[in-house]
Structure 1
Amino acid sequence: MTSASASGADVDLVIGPLLRYVSADEATIWVETNGPCTVKVTLDDGPESSADTWSVHGHHFAIVMIEGLEGGKIYPYRVELDGTECWPVDDGFPHSVIRPPSRDDRLRVTFGSCRRTAPFDEANLKELGADALAALGERMKITDATTWPDLLLFVGDQVYADNPSAEMIDKLRQLHPEDDPIGEEVHDFEEYTWLYAESWSTPEIRWVLSTLPSCMILDDHDLRDDWNSSWDWRNEIVHEPWWRDRVLGAFGSYWIYQHLGNLSAEELAADEKYLEVIAAPDEETRNRLVDDFAWRADDDPSSSRWSYYRDFGRNRLIVIDSRCSRDLDPDRRKMVDEVEWAWLVDKATQDVDHLLVGTTLPYLLLPGIHDLEGWNEATSEGAWGKLYAKLGERLRLALDLEHWAAFRNSFDDLTGLIADRAASDSPPSSVLVLSGDIHCSYTAEATLPAVEDSVTRVHQLVMSPIRNTLQRSVQLANRFFRTRGAHAVLGFLARRSGVEDPAITWGVNQGLWFTNGLMTVEIDGRSSRVVVETACVEDGLQRLVEVGTYVLSDGSAPSEAGNDAGRTELAS
């Protein structure tokens, strides 16, 4: 990809432009530059807007807020740095555009998680497979904009701080001494910035992110594997000598590179920390402000909020932070603390046609895994005595037993919240939970026995990974946990440890899939469906191949709706 610096400009884009927030009349564009400058965005046949960069730890950023858009118009746009045009570039991709929505009743959300970064050469394509996000870009390049997603939702592990690419490892080895306890992982804010530059700078990805609005939420690998898995994990890791730099780098970079773009211009204008940082008199002050904020965000989760919501006409997307807002105290153990839960309840009780809930960790797991996590939580907290408690903690970390089922109080709370919405005077047509994390994809339909006559359809949709290795052991384990035998045995163990049956039942409708891919939720009025696509390489190009399209809700009563394929029960 060519750059402005090639034409002699003194300042250039390092990352971006990223189109982040788009509504019917406004948009935000995020950039990182290699020096201080004024960033101007000019829309063809539309408004122009500008913003000055602000710096943190030697890196320069700007968020340009654009107002006065008209719904339904397509705006090609250009980016200038100090008066020199640096975007678009001649890289074989179409002009980047902003597309404000024209209708309140239609929405297309494409989502997935777990994207490792590596070159698109033969060796890496063989090891990691095709990159579904790059494949989406290749298709968009040759298709009409009316067929594109309205929104990209990344539900965790956008970067891998603890498992970087081979190229990044080589760079880290040159900096870290051989006896460095952090090893081949990123260490601080500077090294986190390298991850984002590597992940978002290939031509395909850069163009997609410049053209499709995006939402993001962090999971453990954005920070470090197993982050906040348990009370014991946290009590041990906080004593590591590298811990403080890791926390400052992880949360400071996440706030700048991912979180700020989740917010609307109105929300940014009301965000006290953002306003304080951009108004600071110098970089030293900004460094201190961001570092202090990052440290407190980890030390006191109630001091910050990573969850957010977006409205799309009669539809609402709520994205839950299910990683950093946890309460790990064994006496209170919750996936989200009381402050975060109160916020979620408030945002989820609005009158909408469809309620989409983004959470990195699946709410409805394969039945056997759900039972295993319930048993593990109970025994880890002493249900079978001290010996099993120690064993349970080891299993929790070794097997990543940390999803909603492993926080049973929160699982029951979320089930109750969904049931309340389904039983309300104005129930949504669907509640769709969008998740990733587990390197296995499927759809699951749920039933709430207490409100069986509700028109609300409840589905768990899981898409993972966008691009990552797919170990054979993971495939075999997931197929086992779907079986009736696994559910029977592990369900028995869970009940013997005091775990009650949940107030919701579910079964896998479609899947399991163990291939890189994306899912797209398509909403039209009170109807919704999901398109499942997997990534492959054909004729040297990365492609998306449709696996199937499945009805989620059609606006009618449950007895009249459903998938043509029917409900798939547990395997034998």
Structure 2
Amino acid sequence: MPSTAAAHSTDLPLVLAGPLLRRLEARRLVLWLVATRALDARLRLAWDDPQRGLVELDLPLDDSRCQRLAIGRHAWLHLIDVPLDEPLPADTFIHYDLHVDEDGQTLTIADWAPHLLYPGQTRPSFVRRGRLDHLLHGSCRKPHHPSQDGLLQADALLAVSREQPAERPALLMLSGDQIYADDVAGPMLVAIHRLIERLGLYGEHLDGATVSTSEALYAHPAGYYRREDLLPAYTANEELRERFFGGVEKPVFTSANAHNHLVTFAEVLAMYLLVWSPVPWRLIDPRLPELPEHLAARYRDEEQVIRAFVADLPQAVRAMAQLPCLMIFDDHDITDDWNLSAHWERVAYGHPFSRRIVGNALLGYLLCQGWGNCPDAFASELPAIRNLLATPDHQQRLGAPAQDAIIGRLLAFSHWHYSLPGQPLLLVLDTRTRRWRSESTLSRPSGLMDWEALCELQHALLDEPAVVIVSPAPVFGVKLIEIVQRLFTWAGQPLLVDAENWMAHRGAAHVMLNIFRHSRTPANYVILSGDVHYSFAYEVHIRHRDSGPRIWQITSSGIKNEFPARLLDWFDRLNRWLYAPHSPLNWFTKRRKMQITPRIPSRSRRGERLWNGAGLGQVRLDERGRPSEIRQLNADGSAPTCFEVTAREELDAPD
């Protein structure tokens, strides 16, 4: 590998992305950033203490506090994980800075990332809240969706609370689809390739593919808008072969938008840099590639949307630099219908090329998302990853056997879930990799968590007074939509409608509902979800149990995505008609023992329960962990939508 000095190029910026503020605890601070070289930096913290006055900490970021991984000739990923001898104060502003020596000067964040500062700031700040009583949450941030970016609402909220630490949210929880690896706009893929070239992100050998190397993939005539022609096929699987989009066979990778599906590890890393920082966009000049006219027209349309997304990036990442951000994957972070069924897994992981595609996205998730959520969980995996990235061949490609071995370990890894201690306890669920697979019919949707994972969840809940659970898919969803998904499953086509929800698998649904009824589990549950591209809030009670527990299902989706408006309107309306309180159809659901009451959006025109609009969810909790306010901060800047308590209206029939 080239030395650090050789890898550094004077015409590149010092830092490409970040710092993003990740896990924050009383005695721990985690930051993520990517630089053009391995940084020798110092972390500076400062706050006002009522007894001691100004408190300042100067912490050298040696190897015990900062791990550095080369991901290319001019790209180094840094995870700053600082244990603290004394606890950080609660509910007060804590200012931080990263000092880097460069050419005899000491540079600060104000020098190399001024877009992360609010007017009047000289360094970023954060607040460690004493209680988890104010949260922002959302999912599904697709860069080329024409809506505005909901993360700008987090930025606006921080801007107006700059002098009020108690008004700062405790956390920004991103509950899935932080990137869309399987649904990429043409201009974004061109930008990804230009950035790979600019930074020298490592290439790789491709086994079982039409092309043998990443460089050959990037140069292939089908590289833009026709990648489905290059994706692996599995001709023995009739269920997958019968899925079509626009007359194109869609085996193994089932996204209807797989025309630009990310394939290589470098593509995944470049995507993260481009959705989390405006800086890489300044290094490249994406140009329209040679395309047929109909695809060129599509490219130009998408380019306008991507330009607007890039223009908003400084505000979006400014919020992520000053607000603790935790994350969990959902399907599009990896690929559509990821692990939907045992049959899908058998097909995808049985082919070396599709296994590599999934594995590259999962490795990218680990380094860019999972590692910052809970660094300790990945201690056993990092040595092999570090060795892989430290030993590219003379053509700057990763070693295929080592890469495949790491992917095999990640596919078997079982600690993607995590928790954040506090009041209330935060539990973030992995609903993608520890699935309850159907043993009778492999093509049926798997349960979102298996028996062992659900037992671990129940154990974690014991004797907690209140809990916030993050489940990427809603536990309590829209019945009609779930019935439509079930009908397609019975017809042998679960992939056509993404038939994955908690109620799709009898065993997983039964155990999850029994956990809520357990006498030693919390009195108050708040479930935060995304995934579905619309937002809603339900209040749930167990029938004939006046003492509780009480459950709130709060769904906010998407940050930059929406459901087809007319279709959702019909689903909402039909769901109210078909599953009215005394409808006999309620007897055929798995939630008969639950009384479910919708909260009505304040801007509902005709009694809609579902709110369709990009934005960010906001939840405030009282001292007992119960929601005192549920809002959707709309991305278009209109007045927030409040989910209001109304006269009780049950959606399930009584026993």
TM-score, normalised by the number of residues in structure 1:
0.80
* Alignment pair present for 1:344 and 2:468: no
User: What is the aligned partner in structure 2 of residue 200 from structure 1?
Assistant: 276
Alignment: residue pair count: 509
* Alignment pair present for 1:485 and 2:578: yes
In structure 1, distance between residues paired with 2:220 and 2:9:
35
User: Which of 188, 199, 209 is residue 168 of structure 1 equivalent to?
Assistant: 188
* Alignment pair present for 1:433 and 2:527: yes
User: Which of 35, 38, 41 is residue 40 of structure 2 equivalent to?
Assistant: 38
Letter in 1 for 2:70: S
Q: Check 1:71–1:294 CA distance in 2 against 1; reply closer, same or farther (3 A cut).
A: farther
In structure 2, distance between residues paired with 1:446 and 1:472:
27
CA contact (8 A) 1:55 1:61 kept: yes
* Alignment pair present for 1:62 and 2:78: yes
User: Which of 201, 211, 220 is residue 331 of structure 2 equivalent to?
Assistant: 220
User: What is the aligned partner in structure 1 of residue 19 from structure 2?
Assistant: 17
User: Which of 138, 141, 146 is residue 159 of structure 2 equivalent to?
Assistant: 141
Bigger mean CA offset, 471-480 vs 150-159: 471-480
In structure 1, distance between residues paired with 2:506 and 2:344:
19
In structure 1, distance between residues paired with 2:560 and 2:594:
32
CA contact (8 A) 1:441 1:464 kept: yes
Q: Secondary structure at the match of 2:160?
A: coil
In structure 2, distance between residues paired with 1:478 and 1:534:
23
Q: Check 1:549–1:71 CA distance in 2 against 1; reply closer, same or farther (3 A cut).
A: farther
TM-score, normalised by the number of residues in structure 2:
0.70
User: What is the aligned partner in structure 2 of residue 442 from structure 1?
Assistant: 536
* Alignment pair present for 1:334 and 2:447: yes
Q: How far 1:454 sits from its partner (Å)?
A: 1.9
Deviation per CA, 1:384-413: give whole Å up to 9, x if none. xxxxxxx2x21x211222111112211111
In structure 2, distance between residues paired with 1:100 and 1:159:
27
User: What is the aligned partner in structure 2 of residue 150 from structure 1?
Assistant: 170
Once the two structures are superposed, the pairs formed by residues 404-443 of structure 1 within 5 Å of their partners are 404-420=502-518, 423-424=519-520, 428-443=522-537
User: What is the aligned partner in structure 1 of residue 420 from structure 2?
Assistant: 310
Q: Secondary structure at the match of 1:64?
A: strand
In structure 2, distance between residues paired with 1:367 and 1:507:
13
User: What is the aligned partner in structure 2 of residue 184 from structure 1?
Assistant: 260
Q: Secondary structure at the match of 1:512?
A: coil
Letter in 2 for 1:274: L
User: What is the aligned partner in structure 2 of residue 121 from structure 1?
Assistant: none
Q: Secondary structure at the match of 2:571?
A: helix
Question: Mind listing any 5+ residue stretches in structure 2 that lack a counterpart?
Answer: 1-6, 47-55, 194-216, 232-258, 278-312, 601-608
CA contact (8 A) 2:540 2:596 kept: yes
In structure 2, distance between residues paired with 1:364 and 1:448:
13
In structure 2, distance between residues paired with 1:407 and 1:363:
12
* Alignment pair present for 1:111 and 2:137: yes
User: What is the aligned partner in structure 2 of residue 90 from structure 1?
Assistant: 114
Q: Check 1:290–1:79 CA distance in 2 against 1; reply closer, same or farther (3 A cut).
A: farther
Q: Secondary structure at the match of 1:545?
A: coil
Q: How far 1:414 sits from its partner (Å)?
A: 0.9
Cα RMSD of the aligned pairs, angstroms, is 3.3
Letter in 1 for 2:69: W
User: What is the aligned partner in structure 1 of residue 648 from structure 2?
Assistant: 567
Q: Secondary structure at the match of 1:361?
A: coil
CA contact (8 A) 2:417 2:430 kept: yes
In structure 1, distance between residues paired with 2:58 and 2:622:
30
Q: How far 1:493 sits from its partner (Å)?
A: 11
User: What is the aligned partner in structure 2 of residue 503 from structure 1?
Assistant: 593
* Alignment pair present for 1:526 and 2:624: yes
Q: How far 1:346 sits from its partner (Å)?
A: 2.0
Once the two structures are superposed, the pairs formed by residues 441-480 of structure 1 within 5 Å of their partners are 441-449=535-543, 452-480=545-573
CA contact (8 A) 1:429 1:527 kept: no
CA contact (8 A) 1:353 1:430 kept: yes
Identical-pair percentage: 20
In structure 2, distance between residues paired with 1:6 and 1:235:
43
CA contact (8 A) 2:534 2:562 kept: no
CA contact (8 A) 2:471 2:528 kept: yes
Deviation per CA, 1:20-46: give whole Å up to 9, x if none. 011123211111122223343222323
User: What is the aligned partner in structure 2 of residue 387 from structure 1?
Assistant: none
CA contact (8 A) 1:42 1:48 kept: yes
Q: Secondary structure at the match of 1:128?
A: coil
